[in-house]
Amino acid sequence: MKKKVVSLLVAAMTVASLTACGNSGSDAPAANPAPAPAENQEADPAPTPAESEAPAPAESEAEAEAPAPAADGEVISVGFAQVGHESDWRAANTKNYQDTFSAANGYELSFVDCDNDHAVQIETVRGFIEQELDYICIAPIQSAGWDTVLQEAKDAGIPVLIVDRAVDADPSLYTTALGCDMVAEGEAAGNWLAEYLNGEDANILVIEGSVGASATLGRTEGFNNIVSQNANWKVLDSQSGDFTQAGGQEVMESFIKSYSDFNVVVCQNDNEAYGAMDAMDAAGITYGVDGDVTIISFDATHDGLQYTLDGKITCNVECNPLQAGFAADVIQKLQAGEAVDAWTLVVDEAFVAPGITSNYAVTMSQEVLDGRAY
């Protein structure tokens, strides 16, 4: 009897955790298209923070080239508290900041890789405030828990830019925010599909990302906006593949058995698309430019774009990691004393397989792939 009660309890706990899983992405990032979705990273024990990384090499570089050829002869010091280095996407994002805020451009960048540790990130920002830097950029690991440190920055009179992801804090506490618009990404995919199908019927299957993640919500909403404008489009089913390849494969296997008449598959990140392609290969369904099924994917990672170049993923909508230019524009405006918008949109591009031309997307070629920063 007692043992049964114990087993019941454990089962109940398991169930509770199953249910809880559904929300794990709720405080997740505004934009993380990375192969390793940040929702999961947060749940995981992050590798111990690398303390040695604290003073960025950019600082010493700036010292070496002391007279920086800035426009007004003054070096602008910028602190950047980066999330970590969990993916190619993130690495490209970091490199872009380091290149843009270089000594040659008149900046002194203090770059700190916070290794997915929220506490380290808060301390990093405190450090920036103590160093009395001119500007602080934060790519928040978590959306919650920022009020105190943002207030400290405000009291110190340092403008704060929230980049890439969003924070749950009063907008008056920071100067401005910038990032990708997930709804716009979903709409871009829909608009391209409307153009590509040119009035043909669409029976669509959607493999969503993690339940509750902002990328999932935004991309679903944006795509559905376009679906509702097309009377002959039908979303047959929409299931979560958790942003993983295994998830995409399992969901696609099931879709294939439930529906025989689909011609469009929308995967909300590249990893899910890889899994969906494996499942279709096994079932003998042809896809891509020459096949029966059109695949749309998001993220446009290097591997994903390789598939686009090969004509397998017909359209791949990017989530742009090259955001530093947008941040630099905002800082230049602030420097000139101009007003800035509360929100700056980082413009995303879409890529389509060779042989297709589109008003909404760039046609893929080897040069485009080689020219990508990541």
Partner 1 sequence: MDNIKKLTKMKLFLPIFSMLLVMMINVIYDIASGNPPFGFFSISINNGILYGRLIDVLNRGSEVAILAIGMTLVVSASAGTDISVGSVMSLSGGLCCMLLAGYGVTNVSEYAVPLWVGMFAGIAIACVCGLFNGFLVAYMNIQPMVATLILWSAGRAIGLLLCNSNIVYVRVPSFQFFGAYCGIIPTPILIAAVCVAVASIVLKSTALGTYIQSVGINKKASRISGFNSAKIILLCYVICGLCAGIAGLVATCRIYSADTNNIGLNMELDAILAVALGGNSLGGGKFNLAGSIIGAYTIQAITTTLYALGVSSAQAPVFKAIVVILIVVIQSQPVKDYFKKLSAKKAGAKEAA
Under the rule (CB under 8 A), what is the footprint of partner 1? Answer: 1-4, 6-8, 10-12, 14-19, 21-22, 35-37, 40-41, 43-47, 84-88, 208, 211-212, 237-240, 242, 244-247, 249-251, 253-255, 257-258, 271, 274-275, 278, 282-284, 303
Integer Cα distance of 186 and 15 in angstroms: 33
CB of 222 to partner 1, least distance (A): 18
Burial label for 78, CB within 10 Å (0-12, 13-18, 19+), is buried
The DSSP bridge pattern shows strands 264-267 and 294-299 to be parallel
Helix (H, G, I), strand (E, B), or coil: what is residue 77? strand
Cβ closer to partner 1: 3 or 336?
A: 3
Contact call for residues 136 and 109 (beta carbons, < 8 A): no
Cβ closer to partner 1: 161 or 217?
A: 217
CB of 342 to partner 1, least distance (A): 30
- How does DSSP classify residue 173? G
Cβ closer to partner 1: 67 or 284?
A: 284
Cβ closer to partner 1: 284 or 337?
A: 284
CB of 72 to partner 1, least distance (A): 40
Integer Cα distance of 362 and 319 in angstroms: 14
CB of 277 to partner 1, least distance (A): 12
Cβ closer to partner 1: 1 or 336?
A: 1
CB of 224 to partner 1, least distance (A): 13
Q: How many CB atoms lie within 10 A of CB 156?
A: 13
Cβ closer to partner 1: 216 or 294?
A: 216
CB of 104 to partner 1, least distance (A): 29
Q: Which residues contact 108 (CB under 8 A, 6 or more apart)?
A: 58, 59, 62, 68, 75, 76, 77, 78, 101
